[in-house]
Amino acid sequence: MHDDRAFPATISPVSTPGPEHHSVDSNDQPSPPKSSVPLKRSVYVVYLILLYGAAALYAWVVICILVQRPIGGKGYGPDASDSMLTHPGDGTTLTEDLDASFSRSERYLRAARIVQSLVSVLTIPLTSTVCSQAAVVYIQQRREDNQPTLRQSMALADKGWTDIDLLTKLVFGGWTKYKSGLLLFALFLHLLGAAISPIQQLFLSFHTIKRATGLPVHLTYITDFTDLFPMSDWSGADDGLDATKLRLTLASTVNTDIQPRLWSSSTGTVTLGDKTGETSYSPFQTKSQNTLANITTIADPFWAQLPSGTNTGLVRQFASRINSTAIWENNSAAILPEDCNPSSDAFYLRYEYNSSFSYTVEICMPGNMSQSPWKDQRSRQDISEELYFKMSFSEGFEPQVTPGEYSTKLKLHTTTGYFELPNYENGQVPGPLIENSPFGNNSHSLTTRDLDSDTAWNTLNATTNVSNVKNKGPLLNIAMALFGEGSFADVQHTALAAYANSGIIYPGCIGLVPFITLLDVTYHESPTFYPCLKGTYLESDARIHRDSNVTVYADIAMYFLLFSGVSSGPSSERIQNAFTSAAFLANDMLMMNNFQKQTIGISYDMGADVQKPDISRGGIIFVSILLGLFLICLLALALYSAWVPRWTKTLDSFAMLRIGASISEKTPLLATLHVEGIKSLDETPGWMGNASNGEIGELCLGGERPLAKTMYYAGYNTDHGAQATATTNPPEAIRRKGKLPSSHAHEQRL
């Protein structure tokens, strides 16, 4: 409710100067009496705020800089060494310059954290000091609705912005009695200042990161896809070397062996549940050191030349990768593609035997096998190969097989590309497949092959001369190793046939059948075929009757049965896993069998530990706004308190004692437990004005005239040691020099 009543002016106690205190200067202008004083400004709080603000800004700015880069540097990664190379130190190495730079940044960080702690401790006391200084100036001006009242001025003198009891009264019914503009602003300023440090700690964290130690260290060179296509005229025909090497690898590789070049997009240690569950892992296997036992269950398995898990630290490096996926299924059509015949460019084989039992096996890879499926390019490549099996068996050999025809098909999808090696920036995990080359797309110019001059036939017979093709697809290499010339299926050229015809019976292991160990989860687990060929296999009734070929062809027939899809053979899941494993080994042979120059250089820098603050960009902006707003408001309040000359330094106990003495008739020295009920505190003005029209002003609570900056006001004569009193006859209840009034003295004596 608006209150238009006039408050009675109450004169504050002043000393009464005598005429002897006046003097006249040379210009006949009277000088102010010695018992009067001018109003003066108090500016020390401004210097405190400037010092406090500089400390707060220093700590925050240093932390924000260190979030992005070290002091005087460009970054924590390779940029740091680049900066040192641009501005080398005098007579020092790059490593020494980097060590000195980061040591300096760590000193700055320690200093910033110490200063930030001091600023946090000083925030509330300093803010309260500024508000107390501003309160003196605030009550020197009368405002609308005859405010402030005496109760509101007392709330400022009591530093109500830190008084829990007064704040409670503000919330629960005392709003109109205690509120004032300065009190609300001081309360806002204290809440803002108190919130800054917790919010900083909420957004800010400190991490130990890796920083550059110098120039990256060269590790090795690895094969790029373009390295498979040399610019020389050398044709690069392998003459069956690839198939022979792959055949030996397929025979000697055990599923439980760790494959160092078998990568996965998933990293981490295999759990105990992984090793005891349906998916079986080797006891030595981890998700960064994989085996072929269950390659189809590994997350994104692929081949890369460097050992799995190679970490390049602070340096981003890229490597080539190949991944193949096999799909095994029955060929419901039970027919081979049209070009599966000896006169085409397809890879076509036919094996048959007809004696006491018979079988016919046709194996075909349709398409033009005279050309490599790979292109001389660095972008992603996808190829798809198909391998068909068509078999017919009769009764008459062990194990018994239901006579009939079996037709199956294998599809192998292979993808090439690049990936980013694990490093600190990508979370130390292999990056995803990169479809476009990270090195550019320049490729070599290929020399056109003259097939007529490379072969003895005008029409290329791909089956017998396919070894002349360079950079074959993985499935073609597998088919040649398992079923081509010199394979176990090529019975006329096997060690088993040589022993069968020699008349010598050797009970030991003659040779290893390739691919068998890949079909099994663990070694020696095959239910249908033991991978080690022994001479005892030739001991049979047929051997006694000098027909050892019967036993040899029976072994070959059982080998073909593994790929027939017969129910007594391996499951389709195991066959898919085995062919995916074989494709991995074929890709490994292709990339590691390169005799040309390897062009991808790999470097690393594992870095050194350094502590770094971490805060999001949004956090920096939010905290900076809060800190800037707080410092601006605090500085504005300090300037406000310092700009206006004041009647007292602060609203301390002596200032309130003088105000109380001036209205002693309204506020007698009586006991009370409910200050809220004293109406005189709300009816008495609380601003300080001037009650005199003369040259010497007189301070007055509720004075109509504002205090002037240039006037002198009656004051205590402290220069001569004489102190003025409020009245010549003080109240009887006040003790004077250790004596009591007579009545009280009488009571004391009683």
List pLDDT tens digits, range 670-725: 888 877 778 777 778 888 888 888 788 888 888 778 887 777 888 887 644 444 44
Residue-wise pLDDT tens digits, 596-652: 678 899 998 888 888 889 999 999 999 999 999 999 999 999 999 888 888 888 888
Which of the two residues, 349 and 549, has the higher pLDDT score?
349
Token readout for 412 is 């192998």
Q: What is the dihedral of CA 100, 101, 102, 105, to 10 degrees?
A: 120
CB of 265 within 8 A of CB of 430?
Answer: yes
- Quick one: 540 and 414 in the same domain? yes
Confidence of residue 727 (pLDDT cuts 50, 70, 90): very low
Q: Is residue 749 part of a domain?
A: no
Q: Nearest to residue 134, comparing CAs of 635, 637, 631?
A: 637
Which of the two residues, 65 and 468, has the higher pLDDT score?
65
Q: Nearest to residue 115, comparing CAs of 64, 66, 67, 59?
A: 59
Last residue of a domain, one of 557, 580, 604: 604
CA atoms within 13 A on the CB side of 745: 8
| C-alpha distance from residue 21 to each of 33, 40, 290 (Å) | 5, 21, 103
747 contact partners, CB below 8 Å, separation of at least 6? none
The pLDDT value recorded for residue 683 is: 74
| C-alpha distance from residue 544 to each of 73, 505, 538, 551 (Å) | 87, 12, 9, 11
CB of 499 within 8 A of CB of 538?
Answer: yes
Give the mean model confidence (pLDDT) for residues 3-17.
43
Summary mean pLDDT of the chain: 77
For residue 349, the SS3 value is strand
- Quick one: 392 and 472 in the same domain? yes
For the chain, the domain total comes to 3
The pLDDT value recorded for residue 384 is: 95
Neighbouring-strand partners of residue 38: 712
CB of 357 within 8 A of CB of 396?
Answer: yes
Give the mean model confidence (pLDDT) for residues 413-426.
92
Helices (H) and strands (E) in the chain, counts: 21, 23
Strands (E), 249-380: 258-259, 262-263, 290-291, 302-303, 318-330, 347-354, 358-365
The pLDDT value recorded for residue 578 is: 93
The pLDDT value recorded for residue 33 is: 56
Q: Is residue 27 part of a domain?
A: no
Q: Is residue 195 part of a domain?
A: yes
State the Cα angle at 257 between 524 and 248, rounded to 5°.
75
Residue-wise pLDDT tens digits, 57-86: 999 999 999 998 888 777 776 666 665 555
- Quick one: 618 and 539 in the same domain? no
The helix-helix angle for 548-561 and 495-502 (nearest 10°) equals: 160
The pLDDT value recorded for residue 62 is: 93
- Quick one: 525 and 648 in the same domain? no
Count of residues in the chain: 750
Confidence of residue 190 (pLDDT cuts 50, 70, 90): very high
pLDDT at 743 over 70: no
Q: For residues 486 and 718, what is the distance between their CA atoms, to the nearest angstrom?
A: 122
- Quick one: 315 and 422 in the same domain? yes
Cα 296 to the chain's mean position, in Å? Answer: 30
CB of 250 within 8 A of CB of 638?
Answer: no
pLDDT at 456 over 60: no
Cα 202 to the chain's mean position, in Å? Answer: 17
pLDDT at 461 over 90: no
Q: Is residue 12 part of a domain?
A: no
- Quick one: 525 and 653 in the same domain? no
Q: Is residue 273 part of a domain?
A: no
The pLDDT value recorded for residue 96 is: 78
Give the mean model confidence (pLDDT) for residues 261-269.
76
Q: For residues 84 and 105, what is the distance between their CA atoms, to the nearest angstrom?
A: 15
Confidence of residue 319 (pLDDT cuts 50, 70, 90): very high
- Quick one: 390 and 368 in the same domain? yes
Domain of residue 105, residue span? 41-206+613-663+671-686
Burial of 457 (0-12, 13-18, 19+ CB in 10 A): exposed
pLDDT at 747 over 50: no
Average the pLDDT over each of 204-218, 398-412, 461-475 and give the range with the smallest value: 461-475
Token readout for 240 is 């069956």
641 contact partners, CB below 8 Å, separation of at least 6? 42, 45, 130, 133, 134, 136, 137
- Quick one: 161 and 295 in the same domain? no
- Quick one: 304 and 347 in the same domain? yes
Which of the two residues, 171 and 496, has the higher pLDDT score?
171
Q: Nearest to residue 229, comparing CAs of 472, 470, 440?
A: 470
- Quick one: 179 and 314 in the same domain? no
State the Cα angle at 304 between 300 and 307, rounded to 5°.
105
pLDDT at 449 over 50: no
Tell whether the torsion through CA atoms of 559, 560, 563 and 569 is positive or negative: negative
Q: For residues 80 and 315, what is the distance between their CA atoms, to the nearest angstrom?
A: 12
Residue-wise pLDDT tens digits, 524-579: 445 556 777 766 555 544 344 444 556 677 778 888 888 988 877 788 899 999 99
For residue 354, the SS3 value is strand
Q: Is residue 488 part of a domain?
A: yes
**Residue the block writes with tokens 């097989």:** 401
Q: Is residue 447 part of a domain?
A: no
Q: Is residue 212 part of a domain?
A: no
The pLDDT value recorded for residue 696 is: 84
710 contact partners, CB below 8 Å, separation of at least 6? 38
The pLDDT value recorded for residue 57 is: 95
Confidence of residue 234 (pLDDT cuts 50, 70, 90): low
- Quick one: 139 and 103 in the same domain? yes
Confidence of residue 454 (pLDDT cuts 50, 70, 90): very low
- Quick one: 680 and 703 in the same domain? no
Confidence of residue 749 (pLDDT cuts 50, 70, 90): very low
The pLDDT value recorded for residue 91 is: 62
Q: Nearest to residue 174, comparing CAs of 708, 748, 677, 597?
A: 677
For the entire predicted model, the pTM comes to 0.65
